[in-house]
Amino acid sequence: MPRESYQERLDALRDDVLYMSELAAGQVRDALDALARTDAELARQVIDGDEELNQLYLELESDCVDLLALQQPVAGDLRFIASSFKIITDLERIGDLATNLAEYAMDAEETVFPDVDVQRIGELALDHLDQATTAYATEDTELCHDVAAADDEVDRLCTEASESIVRELVSQSDDDRDADVLLSEVSRLFLTIRDLERVGDHAVNIAARALYMVENDDALLY
């Protein structure tokens, strides 16, 4: 294959990874919106939309394998393809987490703990995802480190939210609400917090792979 065509395929892979990141982020945003409005129809659209993300993942996986097998890239190109392959795996998993959030929205019956701001956590995690994919697109190594450092804030908010739920449960121990409904909603909220924290973790993974891709630096890999 001529070098020009090979470079075009590398450029196309980068563009497709960025497109996949937009799809994954959009799925999470819609799922958060469905949670905020208890919108079952929007939640169903998110769940149904996961198939497009999965199909794109398989196509890009095949592209990465072809580039590795047929072109036998070395040095920077090899790291770029390998990192792109790992990044699309993180994006596919973010799509799965969006599906989880949409399912929680469909099951939600009432707002039990209005003081727990899952929207703030979600928006912060999405902001980190956007920064991580920007770092991948622009090869910005400083931004890679910024994303990794900023994840502590997502973790802190998740911990505070979980602790707030526990405190509220203790203070409402004599609440006359249906125990089964309360337990279901509490469980859903804990799972929501957990999955949003994982979105942030995947953003860090993407930043780590971008750093490795550019500088052959595995400092953020774990």
Mean predicted confidence (pLDDT) in 120-140: 97
**Domain containing 94: what range?**
3-215
Q: Is residue 220 part of a domain?
A: no
- Answer yes or no: are the C-beta atoms of 182 and 168 closer than 8 Å: no
Residue 177 confidence (pLDDT) above 70: no
Domain-embedded: residue 57: yes
For residue 118, is pLDDT > 70?
yes
What is the percent of the chain where pLDDT is above 90?
73
pLDDT value of residue 173:
58
Which of 64-78, 111-125, 133-147 is most confident? 133-147
Residue 222 within a domain = no
Whether 7 maps to a domain, the answer reads yes
Does residue 1 register a pLDDT over 60? no
CATH of the domain at 30: 1.20.58.220
Question: How many domains are contained in the chain?
Answer: 1
pLDDT at 131 over 90: yes
Is a pLDDT exceeding 90 seen at residue 73? Answer: no
Band of residue 167 on the pLDDT scale cut at 50, 70, 90:
confident
Instruction: Provide mean pLDDT across the span 119-124.
Output: 96
Q: What is the pLDDT of residues 44-55, one digit of tens each?
A: 999 999 999 999
Supply the pTM of this predicted model.
0.92
Do the domain assignments include residue 94?
yes
The model's confidence at residue 2, banded by pLDDT at 50, 70 and 90, is low
CB 147 within 8 A of CB 220: no
Q: Is residue 131 part of a domain?
A: yes
For residue 175, the model assigns a pLDDT of: 57
pLDDT surpassing 70 at residue 174: no
pLDDT of amino acid 55: 97
Mean pLDDT confidence for 142-149: 97
Please give the average per-residue pLDDT across 49-63, as a whole number: 96
Higher pLDDT, 178 or 90: 90
**221 in a structural domain:** no
Average pLDDT rounded to a whole number, residues 97-115: 83
Phi, psi of 174 (to 5 degrees): -100, 15
Residue 163 resides in a domain: yes
Sorting pLDDT into bands at 50, 70 and 90, what band is 108?
confident
